[in-house]
Structure 1
Amino acid sequence: MTTTNQAAHAPLSPAAQPQPTYAGSEPFPTTPAPVELQPRAGQVAITAVIVAFPFLALVLAVVVLWGQLIGPVDIALAVALYTVTGLGITVGFHRCLTHHSFTPAPSLKVVLALAGSMAFQGDVISWVATHRRHHAFTDRPGDPHSPFRYGTTLRGQLRGLAHAHVGWLFTSDTTPAAKYAPDLAADRAMRAVSAAFPALCVMSLAVPFGLGWAIGGTLRSAIAALLWAGLIRVAVLHHVTWSVNSLCHMIGERPFRTRRHDRATNLWPLAVPSFGESWHNAHHADPTCARHGVDRGQIDLSAVVIRLLQRAGLATDVRWANPTRLEGRRK
């Protein structure tokens, strides 16, 4: 047999094998991850701490400490840091860096990346790469956190909901930054912010601790601020963000047409805590639009911030909603 014929009859590699057609209701096909892509025990442990510890702090505070270790200063600090880090995710990581909804001034780009990193949701380059991959394969094989991963039966959807909310963080399904975020990987400033992620997480907790001590003057006040404006603030923002991944693909309205298999929804109860991210169906219908709450009465605080940045000259080339294009996608 000639070399050409040998090549023609050689078995295809897994990547080159014809992929089965996805119909939209069956579980996603799975293949074992190579050993080198399996998460290391240390990585799993760190993820578990980041995910679980803030939530355990929330449970402890509600059950044991409510009314005993909280005051107006703690609430004010929690709201302020929730807003700063939350907008770092929504305006910075998501609308600016992932979708290029606007062009930021160089200094603003770094500030947004720093603020988003302090939300404990991963380094900026990995976050952007994962989210771009989510849009490339929304609710079909390849989506890293679709709630339909295990099919559309009741059991499959419940299992998928848990996977989309938090389970995907513990899988070996890594997203290569070189493929999905080459622009950020080539950006020296973004590489520096990405490398500083652990230190920024420490700072995210040190800031409320230090402010609590400076304002209250006691270790008790510092610990209270750390608990409420640090750990509990992180836990709440975690679950609001993850709810966009999970609930906003299963519950809510779908006024706009999206790509085949894309089940993104608008879920109004999350609009304020998510800073407008829960108008998810509109976002998936027009991903680069700077405003997600495109209909009358839909609160989108991230879009308000982008408008203010635009007026201040810090954001240019803002991609606001095009009414004609939106109406063409409305059901």
Structure 2
Amino acid sequence: MTALTTVRTASSVPPSAGAAEDASSAGTLSGLRQSTKERVAIALFIGIPFLAVLAAIPFAWGWGLGWHDAVIAAVMYAISGHGVTVGFHRYFTHSSFKAVKALRVMLAVAGSLAVEGPVIRWVADHRRHHRFSDKDGDPHSPWRYGSTIPALAKGLCFAHIGWLFDVEQTDQRQYAPDLLKDGAIVKVSRAFPWLVVASVLTPPLVGGLWSWSWQGAATAFFWGTLVRIGLLHHVTWSINSICHAIGERPFKSRDKSGNVWWLAVLSMGESWHNLHHADPTSARHGVLRGQVDSSARVIWLFEKFGWARDVRWPSAARVAARRTA
């Protein structure tokens, strides 16, 4: 692959991100293969920091990390993480299901606890990503600088975190007009700073009360706030970077989106990214045997409780129609 194909930004896009996979802007990336050097470079770029984080956990156990901290961090990770994957992504961005008002608000609040930005801005960025996936106009493609190893390394850094500092902001009026008309969601979006405070302070408050000690509050703050937010951020950003650079591509898509199995649990099913780009409105991303997708299971529970309806579950025929072979 050379530099990204230039595509001019359309004057408007429909609010549903399913329609954002617009054929008029489609270009083909099929038939392109990574060299062995590219794969090794990507593996080193991805693997070393990830292994360092994993290694820190057993060394910390009993020395500033206890089971109270682990429970608090895990619960907060699940709530805020599924708030992003089920709420910000599959519901607000792609309309994979319809929800009662209370669930709409709950998902917007839960996703905000991930500290990844206000819900309307998050949705606008992601709809723009789908409109120009791996093309000029995509806010975070790892291929923006080209396909050489130095260019790809630079692109991965940009797609992972550099794009967050881009001075060009996505036009919310163009990409999220439906949410700007929703009074309840606008209020949640404006309350984002207060929700950040709640996300930061809840773990130490719970940890302090649970252990009835300042030490319990301090360790819960470190693991339940700092580590939890940091890990969730990097997992989310890895969908932008890693899942558009490597992975299996069993489904037809117009970009470089791939399935990365070892991110599936931490990303709550989001790393089955190739199917998502092949069928953006699907409520389930892990559609093949053995593909863990906890976000789809959460949506299933909401449907069973009557909080969600008209869920866009992928049929066998729909999945088969999108297979590459």
Q: Is 2:177 the partner of 1:182?
A: yes
Aligned residue in 2 for 1:37: none
Specify which of 207, 231, 234 is matched with residue 202 of structure 2. 207
**Structure 1 residues 124-176: Cα deviation after superposition (integer angstroms, max 9, x where no partner):** 00000000000000000000000001011111111000000000001112101
Of residues 289, 311, 314, the one that matches 1:321 is 314
Counterpart selection for 1:218 from 196, 213, 219: 213
The equivalent of 1:97 in structure 2 is 92
1-structure distance, mates of 2:306, 2:4: 48
The 2-side partners of 1:147 and 1:284 are apart by 16
RMSD, matched Cα: 2.0
Match of 1:26 in 2: 3
Which one-letter code corresponds to 2:312 in the other structure? R
Unaligned runs of 5+ in 1: 1-23, 31-54
2:74 aligned residue (67, 71, 79)? 79
Letter in 2 for 1:189: A
Aligned to 2:35: none
- 2:249 — aligned with what? 254
Amino acid at match of 1:226: F
Q: Does 1:235 align with 2:250?
A: no
Deviations, residues 205-241 of structure 1 (Å, cap 9, x unaligned) = 1111110111111111101111101111000000000
Instruction: Identify unmatched segments of 5+ residues in structure 2.
Output: 8-49
> What's the TM-score, normalizing by structure 2?
0.83
State the alpha-carbon separation in 1 of the partners of residues 239 and 124 from structure 2: 17
How many residue pairs end up in the alignment? 280
Give, in whole Å, the separation in 2 of the partners of 1:63 and 1:83: 21
Q: Distance in 2 between matches of 1:124 and 1:95?
A: 12
Q: CA deviation at 1:29?
A: 6.6
**In structure 1, how many angstroms separate the alpha carbons of the residues matched to 2:57 and 2:302?**
37
Question: 1:158, 1:74 → 2: CA distance?
Answer: 35
Residues of 1 paired with 2:154 and 2:306: CA distance? 46
**Aligned match of 1:277 in 270, 274, 288?**
270
Question: Which letter maps to 1:144?
Answer: P
**Preserved contact between residue 123 and residue 194 of structure 1 (Cα < 8 Å):** yes
Q: Which residue of 2 aligns with 1:49?
A: none
Amino acid across the alignment from 2:299: I
Give 1:106-125 correspondences, 5 Å limit.
106-125=101-120
- Under a length normalisation based on structure 1, what TM-score does the superposition of the two structures give? 0.81
Distance in 2 between residues matched to 1:289 and 1:27, nearest whole Å? 27
Larger Rg: 1
Per-residue CA distance 1:20-71 (angstroms, 9 max, x = gap): xxxx5225679xxxxxxxxxxxxxxxxxxxxxxxx9xx89x76996532111
Partner of 2:292: 299
CA distance in 1, matches of 2:281, 2:184: 23
1:140 maps to which residue? 135
**Is 1:150 matched up with 2:145?**
yes
Matched, 1:286 2:279: yes
